[in-house]
Homo-oligomer: A and B are copies of this chain.
Amino acid sequence: MADGQPVAPVQTIEDVWEAYQEDIDEVEAHIRRSLDEPSPLIKEVGLHILNGGGKRIRPLLLILCAHLCGYIAKKDLALGSFIEFIHTATLLHDDVLDEADLRRGQQTARRIWGNKTSILVGDYLYSLAMSQIAGFQNHGMNETLSDACRKMAEGEILQLCANYQPTITESDYLRIIEYKTGALVASTCKVGAIIGGATPAQQAALYHFGLHLGMAFQLADDRLDYIANGNRLGKTLGQDLKQGMVTLPLLHLLQHCSTQDRETIIHHMINQTVEEKDLLHIINLMNEHGSMAYAAHRAQEFIDAASLDLKPFDDCMAKRSLRIVAGYMLNRDR
């Protein structure tokens, strides 16, 4: 899509995808080309997970932030594919860590090709991305993306240490989601700003926009674990709780329910004896104590902060699109 060209106003997330389809198609072409070269196994596993039904939200954010700052060169769209590779590498490793059999309703790579292949293809996609990014010879990009990767790994370790720990604080939880999810979305938006020729202040504004957006997204995702229908999700209800992961709705509940309920929940979590009836009881308690509403409220606050981050930018189709994407990330049911 050429900048400045008159177009119908974007109103829905579908309008946004349609308006920027040409750029997204270029990202897709880069993804396929990058996987053509190495071994057939990398291509097979890479395409399995990359075509596994995930939206290209990160490449879209990169494209929108670049357009917001004025410009996107065709060659820079390759960066969208490299960021998608980084994200995909974390999914491959996550599925090994979680011993997951399903992702978005289809078999995980580890289920089909085994843990070894998933670990190695994850390592490959990550290091391929870093080496291709280095080829752009832009220090700002190198630093923000490598920093995001470090934070993602640190966030996963912080989360591992927080598992089965009902005493973590909301601020511990927020740091975990900032690192494991927020950092890469933030860096993606900053890289979009860099390739769009943004000033350092604009780069910082879009970094914060992405950080707030990523945190809202993770909060919404964690909340969904106590709402969504398992068939639709490709993972069953209450999966986080069963894996000992203490997310915001549970944190809120543990701080507000009766001592007896608190002890029962912690007992079930630590002893890994959460059954369907316990889960439904916990969900009822969450609704009763306003835990779900609280998590939704906190997510909305991050979206509001993201919206404020966009204030310095002139109104344009890219800005309207970023607001629509923000709303979509908050309310999607996957």
Contacts and interface: CB of A to CB of B under 8 A. Distances in A.
B97 A157 contact: no
A243 B18 CA distance: 51
Contact of A97 (B119, B149, B156): B119
A157 B125 CA distance: 12
A128 interface: yes
Interface string A99-139: 00000000000000001110111011011101101110101
A134 B143 contact: yes
A41 interface: yes
A38 interface: yes
A258 interface: no
B38 A121 contact: no
Contact of A150 (B39, B121, B128): B128
Given A97-B116, A119-B97, A139-B137, A131 B157 contact: no
A122 to B, nearest CB: 8
Nearest to A99: B116
A149 B131 contact: yes
A67 interface: no
Given A134-B143, A139-B134, A123 B93 contact: yes
Given A39-B157, A39-B161, A150 B137 contact: no
Interface residues of A, number: 39
A126 B130 CA distance: 11
Nearest to A113: B160
A157 B135 CA distance: 23
A143 B120 contact: no
Contacts of A41: 157, 160-161
B120 A149 contact: no
Nearest to A38: B154
A60 interface: no
Contact of A146 (B116, B127, B143, B157): B127
A146 B130 contact: yes
Question: Which 7 residue pairs are nearest across A and B when measured between Cβ atoms?
Answer: A131-B146, A124-B153, A127-B149, A123-B153, A134-B142, A127-B150, A131-B150
Given A39-B161, A41-B157, A123-B126, 15 more contacts: A38-B154, A39-B157, A42-B154, A42-B157, A97-B119, A97-B120, A116-B160, A117-B157, A120-B157, A124-B157, A127-B146, A127-B150, A134-B139, A134-B147, A137-B143
